[in-house]
Amino acid sequence: MPNGPRRPEEPAPVTPLPQDELVETVAEKEGRKLRARAQSDRGLARGLGVFGMVGWSVAVPTLLGIALGVSLDRRGDGRYSWTLMLMIAGLAVGCFNAWYWVRKEAERDG
């Protein structure tokens, strides 16, 4: 090699937190973890409930988009399929909705 062996790029220096701020951050995270472990409602039923909520939050907008699209396709002789377009739009809205609820549940758990 004409330029010699290639050296890996050095990572950016990490700015250390002041000691008090570090202690507060660690204590806050530890407190959240202990509170989450102490919660008794974190079981199978809650997990299935969240799973169902995510499923419905995707399914309902998708099915509404399909129903509206079928209705629009029956009314006119359009060049484009409203059913397909509104199904995709409903799916996108549903995925955004599911992401919102999962994020909200994750924040609640700490």
CA angle 84, 86, 92 (to 5 degrees): 105
Q: pLDDT, tens digit, for every residue of 1-30?
A: 556 565 556 666 666 667 778 788 888 888
Q: pLDDT, tens digit, for every residue of 38-73?
A: 765 567 777 777 778 888 999 999 999 999 999 999
Integer Cα distance of 110 and 107 in angstroms: 5
pTM of the predicted model as reported, rounded to 2 decimal places: 0.57
Q: Write out the two tokens for 42.
A: 């974190």
Q: Write out the two tokens for 10.
A: 């050095």
